[in-house]
Chain A
């Protein structure tokens, strides 16, 4: 096995909550030394967010925090003190990357804005991930994952046309678009630094990556003057395409069988039902025109099927079909994720054994699992200050007495 791809890269990590922490997790899980800098006065608020191990609250018990902070180290520095700021600066001097996702101006208040940091470490890669970017008329506006979904159009476009916009039901931007884009930008900047010796400032507005993913809807609006509407599970010109009820409590299957071959195969698996023999359903266009009739006809049959059995039968016939899995299903009952070793159980000092996502790809010849569970608050303060900054026991004691390491 080769070393992890980011071995040797250090991140002074001031990120918190969602998108920022997830970005540095991607780096940490692949070998970067990510040092998360918190303080007990201003800790990552996810530490006090549900769910907690066994439902018992505690700053080292949140699964919301844990999943976004695997493989990192945590130190506590009181950045309101001069000595705390000084330690942060010394740590930055040994780092390759500084990351934050505060509202613009916050890092400057700590004396850790880009210009100040560049003075300490001229080739630093400094990434700021505020909600709407570093400047502009709305750059100081408040926001979270859910309000971001609203701003980006993803919420407006997802759901049923006659109901309120539904979105994904999650803080989607926090978990995929923003961390992936930010990590890609950081990695590209690392390449540039290696080739030229020059670091740089990266500004990611947490709205923009998700909007970038919606490019075709934007050009449909700008070029065709069409504001796309929510369309539930319909995807023109595909029919049938959607989610159909199966046996059991809230069990469903997703099926897409709109081409002539897959439609014929679907009819066969469903027992050649009379409704499907109507001549107008012989063409893809005819199926689209009659999609509501088809959906009803399919549901009337699938509701007597076990979802897993039906998926197997449909896939055996070459039809794209998948059980609508719950969180419990994908952790306990998905043979493919099990085969890939996606879920990793890590033992956390306070939470005990709990489940983490492995990265969603395998790199041939390198391990791809989280290196360690999420850190407890300040778990690595002494270790980091001793091994990286060379502080001795007496100095640590003094700093602790002066309220610098809280």
Chain B
């Protein structure tokens, strides 16, 4: 990629950082002018994406062989190639890319130059790695007092597990969420889709943004190092498990596969499953609506569900109540589609939802109304990908359709030119394998 660019004479002019682009209305993006170096890979890449999508200039700094995420599926057309990872394409959209060997002195020097006027560095190395490279927060802030550095690691910078190895499932296990997932008669089952890493990236975004605000407010000299533990981020998602243990000394367990109480749980329908939540917190408000619906639909057995016993949470929690309820509701649900049960149930003010597949979500009329999905170019193939768009709608400073994820080394040249490296210097760096 880069070699071809040199031959074509591309990249003789460049700036390190993009000029903040003014939106057509003249309103700057919310994060216009914020300069981010994203060194993070799996654990922090969504953090970099969140900054890029609100207008920050984010440079992805990859190893010369490419980010490990480039080797993570799914792949476009199932082609396992560094330019065809759909995961990479999605989580790195909006970023520019430089491929740099940070274990070599020349690469470290370039990173220090970039860090000199960055606002935020997101990194995910083991606690001692950045220091060994001479790129610790303490050394970088010395020449850039406003710098915020966010380190996202499995267990944090210090402590007995600081050097433990972890993949997503390990962090879910040690953070307590894994124990709550799955069925009583199986092993615990992990949530889909790297949720531990993603949780950490989301908290990293919040923490980084708070620190950036404080750094800007103080007008310099107020950079901070943020130490995000993926394990700790997972513990934030345990719902009431900690409080049940602390306050009532009971340990919550995995419970999928059966109703939580009568009227709350998963039920099969004609083309999949629905989730019904007519009991629980809401039981007294929605129960009658549900029973009336069933009776109107000709489910005579449902009449008994209006007897006084059904107003008691204790009764709803009994196997007897669950069995009676299933006997009334399941045969009815099995005759109808997800869409019918959802639309009809909701029109009667009953909390019922389809258990959506990715296809259901891609074709959701509500999401279509909100223009949630966007079309994004996949440059290596020229194809357009349909991907999630704005996860928040900011009326003044809109989430913006981001540039496609960088090809490996796509912006190496323009960034180095911006730093003052001439063609000969860049060719030497390429030849020695410091850049790609």
Contacts and interface: CB of A to CB of B under 8 A. Distances in A.
A361 B157 CA distance: 10
Given A200-B397, A336-B160, A154 B192 contact: yes
16 contacts: A6-B210, A26-B206, A49-B281, A51-B244, A138-B365, A191-B209, A203-B393, A209-B392, A214-B193, A215-B387, A224-B74, A243-B189, A315-B164, A330-B242, A355-B243, A362-B227
A389 interface: no
Interface string B182-220: 110011111111010011101111110111111011000
Contact of A211 (B176, B246, B361): B361
B195 A168 contact: yes
Interface in A16-56: 26, 30, 45, 49-55
Given A169-B256, A170-B177, 12 more contacts: A51-B250, A52-B248, A55-B248, A132-B366, A135-B370, A168-B237, A184-B205, A200-B395, A243-B189, A326-B251, A330-B235, A340-B156
B31 interface: yes
Interface in A300-356: 315, 318-331, 334-337, 339-340, 342, 351, 354-355
Interface string A50-67: 111111000000011011
Contacts of A323: 173-174
A180 B207 CA distance: 10
Interface in B330-365: 346, 349-362, 365
Contacts of A223: 76-77, 86, 378, 383, 385-386
B351 A147 contact: yes
B165 A147 contact: no
Contact of B209 (A187, A215, A220, A230): A187
Nearest to B205: A184
B172 interface: yes
A397 to B, nearest CB: 35
Interface in A192-236: 192, 194-196, 198-205, 207-209, 211-224, 226-228, 230-233, 235-236
A281 B396 CA distance: 56
A193 to B, nearest CB: 9
A334 B245 CA distance: 15
B129 to A, nearest CB: 15
A351 B6 CA distance: 68
Interface in B7-32: 27-28, 30-31
A227 B246 contact: no
Contact of A202 (B74, B165, B394): B394
Contacts of B209: 184, 187-188, 191
B181 to A, nearest CB: 5
Contacts of A224: 74, 76-78, 86
B394 A51 contact: no
B369 A325 contact: no
A364 interface: yes
B239 A171 contact: yes
B380 to A, nearest CB: 13
A339 B160 CA distance: 8
Contact of B257 (A164, A222, A365): A164
Which one of A53, A137, A151 has the greatest number of beta carbons of chain B within 10 Å?
A151
B189 A137 contact: no
B394 A189 contact: yes
Contacts of B176: 325-327, 329-330
A365 B210 CA distance: 13
A172 B191 contact: yes
Contacts of A95: none
A314 to B, nearest CB: 9
Nearest to B255: A169
A270 interface: no
Contacts of B89: 219
Contact of A360 (B235, B252, B268, B367): B235
Interface in B409-430: none
Contacts of A334: 174
Nearest to B71: A237
A221 B396 CA distance: 32
Interface in A135-166: 135-139, 141-160, 163-166
B90 A215 contact: yes
Interface in A250-290: 250, 252-256
Interface in B124-179: 137, 155-156, 158-162, 164-179
A136 B370 contact: yes
Closest 4 CB pairs of A and B: A63-B243, A339-B159, A180-B202, A360-B232
A182 interface: yes
A360 B236 contact: yes
A221 to B, nearest CB: 4
Contacts of A362: 156, 226-227
Contacts of A256: 167, 169-170
Nearest to A258: B167
B358 A218 contact: yes
A109 interface: no
A205 to B, nearest CB: 7
A211 B360 CA distance: 12
B396 A184 contact: no
A67 B181 CA distance: 21
B50 interface: yes
A92 B161 CA distance: 45
Nearest to A200: B396
A126 B355 CA distance: 31
Nearest to B240: A64
B277 interface: yes
B390 interface: yes
A231 B213 CA distance: 41
A401 interface: no
Nearest to A334: B174
Contact of B372 (A196, A211, A219): A211
B247 A158 contact: no
Given A153-B361, A166-B183, A357 B242 contact: yes
Contact of A177 (B28, B202, B378): B202
Contacts of A219: 74, 86, 89-90, 385-387
Contacts of B436: none
A168 B192 CA distance: 8
A319 B164 CA distance: 8
Contacts of B186: 160, 163
Nearest to B207: A361
B83 to A, nearest CB: 14
A111 interface: no
B173 A144 contact: no
A250 B185 CA distance: 10
B111 interface: no
A99 interface: no
Interface string B247-272: 11011111111000000101010000
B273 interface: yes
A158 B165 contact: no
Given A163-B257, A334-B174, A336-B155, A221 B370 contact: no
A394 interface: no
Contact of A147 (B90, B212, B277): B277
